[in-house]
Chains A and B, each alone.
Chain A
Amino acid sequence: SQKIEQNSEALNIQEGKTATLTCNYTNYSPAYLQWYRQDPGRGPVFLLLIRENEKEKRKERLKVTFDTTLKQSLFHITASQPADSATYLCALDSGAAGNKLTFGGGTRVLVKP
């Protein structure tokens, strides 16, 4: 069965450092991989999308890589700030018309000043 794994342990990081989160998947061939931010009690907020034929995508202080051979995506937050503290979710999109997203369990990031 399809499996998406994110590090369930919280990532504690000092302000200004780079946070790196991992998303691994098995038994899946996503056409797209997306990263979302979720704050407690709120809905997911879209951050970045990367296609299967793309290696890297950047948006401001965020960078995503996608390795379809390793079945892994890395999500980087550079120059982290306390406001970046949240849970980050990766989600796989098969590319089918229904565009169903399959989410990982998320990694909580806590940026300390």
Chain B
Amino acid sequence: DQQVKQNSPSLSVQEGRISILNCDYTNSMFDYFLWYKKYPAEGPTFLISISSIKDKNEDGRFTVFLNKSAKHLSLHIVPSQPGDSAVYFCAASASNTGFQKLVFGTGTRLLVSP
């Protein structure tokens, strides 16, 4: 059973517009959430994270929103740039596991066209 779901395998956006990537989770014990970006032939690169005590975290063009009641988080990229084209993974962990066991979604491929 997949505990972290990214239901959109792909997303296409025009340069300058907003990209919104979504992620849903089922485990209510998750309390830390991360977004990673992955280019072909490279490992995932940490992008931004959010703790369950917050509902928003912003870093430059990237903002992550967390809705705990809906068990949903989203990553907003504004404005989108062609260099943002990559696969984006959502991940979650629960602090009660005793160690950082990250559970990943299957990823969303973002394509930003000029």
A and B co-occur in one complex: no
